[in-house]
Amino acid sequence: MEFDVIICFEIHAELKTESKLFCPCATKPGAPPNTQVCPVCAGHPGTLPVLNRKAVEQCIKAGLAMNCAIREHAKFARKNYFYPDLPKGYQISQYDEPLCEYGYLEIMGDDGEPYQVGIKRIHLEEDAGKLVHSAKSFERSEYSLVDFNRAGVPLIEIVADHTRNPVRSVEEARRYLEGIRQVLRYIDASDCIIEEGQFRCDVNISLKPKGSDQFNERVEIKNMASFKAVRAALEYEIKRQSDILATGGTVAQETRLFDEEKQVTILMRSKEDAPDYRYFPEPDLVGLHISQELVEKIASQMPELPSVKAQRFVAAYGISKADALLLTRERELSHYFEEAAKHCQDRKRLAIWTIKELFRILNENKITVEQCLVPPQDFGRLVQLISSGEITEKIGKTVLKEMVDAALSSGKPGKGPGQIIEERGLKPITDRGALERLVLEAMEAHPEAVEKIRAGKPEPVNFLIGQIMKKTNGRAHAGRLREIIAEKFSS
């Protein structure tokens, strides 16, 4: 039996603001516990919330970036529930009048075609505090501590629409989550650092037999702390539900938790005791009126979004779509590439060098492109030198590594590529006579390779070139060596 899958995310992202949603407390991550707390966010009786304008603007910005309609009138509501990390006993959120509605995010579908995943709403709310358990898991803990630094930090919740183009597979789920995170980082609404809990999600999943239009009950999965966990939880849950349906059983509507250690989902609560949050309009805040001018102002300041930028890169630089997508993955990286491109005519090579060589060095050093401290113009010039044949690819790699190492050890940009090549004598050997001498020496030293080439085997040619490269530290031009070797054997 085969099944269609519907996957709907509820994503929480912490907004980037200096202060909390309803009080002036700082939002800096990593501060000592309970040092960013005041009577308002600690829920003392008699205190009143004052709305943070910047948070409203950030939420509207996110809505516009995800093609939402921005409501003219929005309001806040109380969501009532008891939990030790919720000092007021309720959370100020939005219920029937959220700031943003009816949006979508375009991703690439599994069929390779663009697919606009429906977004039902994006609303603004405050975060809860954080419980810190004495042991790794709650069950094994002797005690738990509560840190209210996070209580009141502004969040947006992005709710997918299960009726409009829902996510249909684990792969689409990954692209959707990465796409949302990418957009929020591009517009600077959130850093979305997953390890800091700035980007979290719950997911609803239901199955139906292929061809049928009757979907089974939805199951919600909570407590997934990484993209990897989301994938594992979805794969497990699709399998679990398919097995139940294939043997004639029924899937119950319930909330499940993902157990990271065992890589399984476990029952948290069934439909019967699903909580009733008793939402009602927040009496301490007036309704929000969002003027058309404000929306237009935010729209006019919106940076170029990643999908638009990727298209422009293809047109402007003549690079492949796959390369453009990689180069626009992060805003800083795309900016770096564009700056480098001002100093390099060979954009295709620049794209390849960025994706292969620069990415590799960044990964090895576990740094971002900004942290590598090599100015983009130096990187562009280096690739230009390779392109024009002034240095070999191999020397180029050595120079790039040297530039990054020097910058990292001194904390500031070091010498440019031209100076390094000059000082270290890295100019390639282009003199025909010198190259010929190198070839003859290599042939003399390796008669067995010469024999094989004479017998018609091509592989030892690469061996000879490799020997010469070793001897010259990669300064000999491989293409010209190949030509000379070919001449030696044809005559």
Chain positions contacting Zn ion, by CB under 5 A: 23, 25, 38, 40-41
Closer residue to Zn ion, CB minimum distance, 130 or 401: 130
Which DSSP category does 198 fall into?
S
Query: Considering the complex, what minimum distance in angstroms separates the CB of residue 23 from Zn ion?
Result: 3
Closer residue to Zn ion, CB minimum distance, 148 or 336: 148
Alpha helices in 163-226 (DSSP H): 170-186
Closer residue to Zn ion, CB minimum distance, 98 or 152: 152
Closer residue to Zn ion, CB minimum distance, 44 or 297: 44
Q: What is each CA distance from 360 to 341, 356, 386, 400, in whole angstroms?
A: 19, 6, 18, 11
Query: Considering the complex, what minimum distance in angstroms separates the CB of residue 21 from Zn ion?
Result: 9
Closer residue to Zn ion, CB minimum distance, 23 or 476: 23
Query: Considering the complex, what minimum distance in angstroms separates the CB of residue 25 from Zn ion?
Result: 3
Phi, psi for 331 (deg, rounded to 5): -60, -45
Closer residue to Zn ion, CB minimum distance, 148 or 379: 148
3-state helix, strand, coil in the chain (%, to 5): 40, 20, 40
Query: Considering the complex, what minimum distance in angstroms separates the CB of residue 145 from Zn ion?
Result: 19
Query: Considering the complex, what minimum distance in angstroms separates the CB of residue 29 from Zn ion?
Result: 16
* Conformational region of residue 278, where left means phi above 0, alpha means psi within -120 to 50, and beta covers everything else: left
Closer residue to Zn ion, CB minimum distance, 34 or 467: 34
Query: Considering the complex, what minimum distance in angstroms separates the CB of residue 87 from Zn ion?
Result: 10
- Comparing CA positions, the residue from 21, 19, 16 lying closest to residue 125 is 21
CA distance linking residue 193 with residue 199, whole number of Å: 6
At position 205, the amino acid (one-letter code) is I
Q: What angle do helix axes 331-341 and 376-387 make, rounded to 10 degrees? A: 50
Closer residue to Zn ion, CB minimum distance, 38 or 484: 38
Closer residue to Zn ion, CB minimum distance, 38 or 285: 38
Listed in sequence order, the residues at least 6 apart from 366 whose beta carbon sits closer than 8 Å to its beta carbon are none
Size of the chain in residues: 491
CA distance linking residue 179 with residue 183, whole number of Å: 6
Query: Considering the complex, what minimum distance in angstroms separates the CB of residue 28 from Zn ion?
Result: 13
Closer residue to Zn ion, CB minimum distance, 50 or 308: 50
CA distance linking residue 25 with residue 19, whole number of Å: 5
CA distance linking residue 438 with residue 450, whole number of Å: 14
Listed in sequence order, the residues at least 6 apart from 396 whose beta carbon sits closer than 8 Å to its beta carbon are 353, 357, 382, 383, 385, 386
Q: How many CB atoms within 10 Å of residue 279?
A: 15
Query: Considering the complex, what minimum distance in angstroms separates the CB of residue 287 from Zn ion?
Result: 23
Query: Considering the complex, what minimum distance in angstroms separates the CB of residue 47 from Zn ion?
Result: 9
Query: Considering the complex, what minimum distance in angstroms separates the CB of residue 41 from Zn ion?
Result: 3
Specify whether the CB–CB gap between 18 and 8 falls below 8 A: no
- The two three-digit tokens of residue 38, written as one number: 């005041």
Q: How many CB atoms within 10 Å of residue 168?
A: 17
Q: Residue holding tokens 């709310």? A: 125
